[in-house]
Structure 1
Amino acid sequence: MSQIKTKIVATVGPASLASDIFQKMVDAGIDFIRINTSYGDYDQYDRILANLKNANKTKAIEVIYDIKKLDVLDYFTKNNLRYIALSFADNSEYVKEVKAFAPQSFLISKIETPQGVKNFDQILEHSDGIMIARGDLGKTMSLEQIPPLQKEFTRKTLEKQKLVITATEMLLSMIDKLHPTRAEVSDVANAVFEGTSAVMLSEETAQGKYPAECVQYMARIIEVAETWMEKNRLLYL
C-alpha cells in the first residue's frame, strides 16, 4: 500500500486490548490511538500505553486522550501525553481553561452541541485542532444539518492550517460485519475529498468484532480516494 496522507485514528477498548490485535491495527496503518476516558479505568489505559510501547512500529503513533472532566488530566500529565480531545467544547472560555491547565498540550476541541456550532469560530481560534463529533451532534441537531456543517468546519479549520478530524459512525456496520456498507465507504471517501486531516474509528475498533479489518478497510478507502484526487488534480474543497 502506498503512503497515504489522511491519518487514521483508532479508539482502543476491550475489543482491541489484546497485544496481537493491537499489533494488527498498527500493521494496518493507524497514526493515532484514542483513549476514551468515558470508559475503562487507569489500569486499562496503562495496558493500552504498554501495548503501544511494545508494538513493532514503522512510524510514530500518537495518543489522543479524550476527556469530559478535568479530573482525569493528572494521568495525562503523569504519562507525558501530548494530544487532548476535549468533549463538549461549547465555548472558548472552557477551551482556554483546559489549555491553561496543560499549556504544552495539543488541544483538539470536539464540536458536539448547538452551542459549539454557534461558537465555532471562537473555539477554533483557541484550539490546536477540531474534531467534528457527528454522533453527539446528531443527538441535538437534525441529521440533515450535519453534512453542510462538516464541510464548513473542515474548510474553516484547514484555512487556519489546523488539524481537523472527522469522527463517528464512519464504518459502524463493521462492529459485527466484515465489510462496510456502500454508504459508509462513500462517507469516508467524501471526508478525504473535503481535505480532512484524519478520520476516526470509535466503537468499530473499541468494541467491534473486527478492529484490525476496520483499519485495513479505512486505509484502502483513503488510498483509492487520494489516488483519484491526485490523478484528477482535485483540490481540497
Structure 2
Amino acid sequence: MVLMNRKTKIVATIGPATESKKMLTKIINTGVNVCRINFSHGSHKDHKKVIDNIREINNEQGLFTAILADLQGPKIRVGKIKDNGVELVNGNEIIITSEECIGDASKVYISYQNFPKDVAAGEFILLDDGKLKLEIKSTNNKDEVIAIVRHGGILSSNKGVNLPNTKISLPCLTPKDLVDLEFALQMNIAWIGLSFVRNAQDIIMLKNLISKANSNAKVIAKIEKPEAIKDIDEIIEATDAIMVARGDLGVEIPFQEVPLAQKMIVKKSMKASKPVIIATQMMESMIDNITPSRAEVNDVANAVMDGADAVMLSGETSVGNYPVAVIDAINKIIMDVETDDSLYHFEYPPNEKIIDRYITNSVCFNSCRLAQRINAKGIVTMTFSGYTAFKIASFRPKAGIFVFTGNQSILNMLSLVWGVEVFLYNKFVSTDHTIADIKYILKKDGALNKNDLLINIASMPIAEKGQSNMMKLSYIE
C-alpha cells in the first residue's frame, strides 16, 4: 500500500478530459483521493464506465479512492435563445415566462414553473453566474414576469438563473435527482452531494431515501444558498459532510461575504467533526494554462490553513487541458502549506452532556493531546462505523491517523477525511495481539520506524466491536 504524506485531500471532477481509465490512473496516482461525478452532465452509461474504471484501479493498486455522486438539484435555467445569443440592453424591459418558447431580447423562458407566483416586484434576477442583472417590475402571478435590465450583456441558451431575494418553492430533489440517486445507490457510491440545500429538512429527506434503499451512503450538504447560511448549525448537525460551493454562493450572497462565510463554515464543521470541502474556481486558470495564478495559489493555501478536509477541482479536471498538471500543482501547494505548525492541534473538549459518546470522545480528544505532548508519530483507531476516524481527524493531530477496519463499506468513504489512511483489517483476536499485529503492519509498510511512539485506540473487549474506551501508548519495536 502506498502511504500519503499529505493530510488535506483532493477531490477531482471527472469529465471528458479524465474519464478514460488511462487518465483516471494518472490523476489518482498524482494525488486524487475522491473522484466527483457531476450528474448535471453525462448519461448513467457514461457514469457507470467511470465508476467501474475507478474500482478497477483501486483493486489493481490496493487503493481506496472514494466516489462522490453530485446531484444536480433544482438548478434554474433559461431556455433556448434565438441564434444561441441575444443582447439585453440596460433599461429595456423583458418578459420572463414559464411557458416554453424560443427566447429573444423581449421574452425568455425560465425552467421554474412557479417563478411568477414566488417572486415580487423589486427582487433581482441574476443570469449566467451574475454576469447579467434584472430587476422585477411586476408579475401576473400566473405565467409571466416583467423585468427591467439593470446590467445587460449577451444571454445565450440554457444559462443558469439565481434568485438571491426569492424564497424558492422548488423541492430539494427534482425528478431527475431521484432517478440519479437510485442509480448512485445501486452503484454503492460512498458520498452523495445534495445541491442547493436550504435547511436541515432537505438533508433529512435525502437520508430517509438512502435509508429506505438500505444504503450506507453518506451525505454532503452543498452550501450555496443564503438560506443555508442562516440554518448552518442545523444543517451541519443533520449532514455527514459539508461543501462550501462558492460558485453559486458568491452569486446568491454579496461576493465580499464569501471569505468569512467560508471560514465560519469550516470552523463549525471541524468542531462538529464533519468533513468540509472547499470548492469552485480553486485553480480555474489552469483549464487553459500550465501554471496557476498567484491569487489561486493563495486561495488554495488559505483553504488549507482554514482547516478544510479537502479542496475540490471542477472544470480544471473535467474539461481542462492540463488535468494531471493541476493535480500536481495543487498537491505541491498543499504539501508546502502543511509544513506550517499552525494547521495542527485544535482542541474541542468533549461535551459531557452527550453521554452516549462521552467516553469515546474523551479517549479521542486526550489521545490527540497526548500525541502532541510526546510527539507521537501515529494514532491508530480500530473502528467499524468510522466515528473515531472523523473525531480524531477533527482535532487535526500532526501524528499520522491510521484507521484499521473490517467494514469494507467505509474504506473508500474515509478517503475524504483529513489525514486519514485506511487499512482493511479483520483479525480482531485479542487487544494485545491486534495491537502487536497492527504495529508490525505499519512498520512493514514504512509508515512508522523503530522507536517511534504510537497511540492505539480500541474498544475492550475488542471482539465486541463496541465504542472506543481504551488508549495504549507504546514504542514501535
* TM over 0.5, shorter chain: yes
Instruction: Tell me how far apart the structure 2 counterparts of residues 189 and 75 of structure 1 sit (CA, whole Å).
Output: 36
Residues 52 and 233 of structure 1, relative CA distance in 2, 3 Å threshold? closer
- Structure 1 residue 121 corresponds to structure 2 residue 233: yes
- Residue of structure 1 aligned with 2:270, choices 153, 158, 170: 158
SS in 1 for 2:220: strand
Between 1:3-12 and 1:64-73, the stretch displaced more is 64-73
CA distance in 2, matches of 1:44, 1:134: 27
Aligned equivalents of 1:14, 1:225: Cα separation in 2: 31
Which aligned pairs between 1:208-219 and structure 2 lie closer than 5 A?
A: 208-219=320-331
Match of 1:137 in 2: 249
1:59 corresponds, among 54, 59, 63, to 63
Q: Distance in 2 between matches of 1:233 and 1:134?
A: 22
Deviation at 1:95, TM superposition (A): 0.7
Which letter maps to 2:338? E
* Separation in structure 2 between the aligned mates of residue 57 and residue 93 of structure 1, nearest angstrom: 40
More helix by share: 1
**Residue 50 (structure 1) aligns with:** 52
Q: Distance in 1 between matches of 2:34 and 2:344?
A: 26
CA deviation string 1:98-136 (max 9, x = no partner):
000113221110000111111111111100010000001
Distance in structure 1 (CA, Å) of the matches to 2:296 and 2:346? 20
Report 1:212-227 matches (<5 A).
212-227=324-339
1:11-50 matched pairs, under 5 angstroms: 11-50=13-52
TM value normalised by structure 1: 0.94
| Counterparts of 1:215 and 1:157, CA distance in 2 | 25
The 3 A distance-change label for structure 1 pair 22 and 122 is same
Aligned residue type for 2:67: V
- Alignment gaps of 5+ in structure 2: 74-176, 348-477
- Range 139-148 or range 48-57, more displaced: 48-57
Return the match for 1:109 from 213, 217, 221: 221
Secondary structure of 2:61's counterpart equals coil
SS at match of 1:145: helix
2:290 alignment partner, SS class: coil
Partner of 2:350: none
1:179 partner SS: coil
CA distance in 1, matches of 2:272, 2:27: 31
Contact kept? 1:194, 1:236, Cα under 8 Å: no
The answer for the alignment partner of 1:149 in structure 2 is: 261
Query: Between Structure 1 and Structure 2, which shows a larger proportion of strand residues?
Result: 2
Q: Is the contact between residue 195 and residue 236 of structure 1 (CA under 8 Å) also seen in structure 2?
A: no
Aligned-pair Cα RMSD in Å: 1.7
Following TM superposition, the consecutive aligned residue runs of length 4 or more in structure 1 with deviations greater than 3 angstroms are 232-237
Query: Which deviates more, 38-47 or 53-62?
Result: 53-62
Q: Distance in 2 between matches of 1:21 and 1:81?
A: 21
Measure the CA separation in 2 of the matches of 1:188 and 1:176: 18
SS in 2 for 1:59: coil
Cα separation, 1, equivalents of 2:61 and 2:27 = 11
Q: Whole-Å Cα distance in 2 between the matches of residues 189 and 40 of structure 1?
A: 32
- Number of positions where the alignment pairs a residue of Structure 1 with one of Structure 2: 235
Counterparts of 1:57 and 1:217, CA distance in 2: 23
Deviates more, 1:167-176 or 1:102-111: 102-111
Report the counterpart of residue 185 of structure 2 in structure 1. 77
Rg larger in structure:
2
Any gaps of 5 or more consecutive residues in structure 1? none
List aligned pairs for 1:134-213, cutoff 5 A: 134-213=246-325
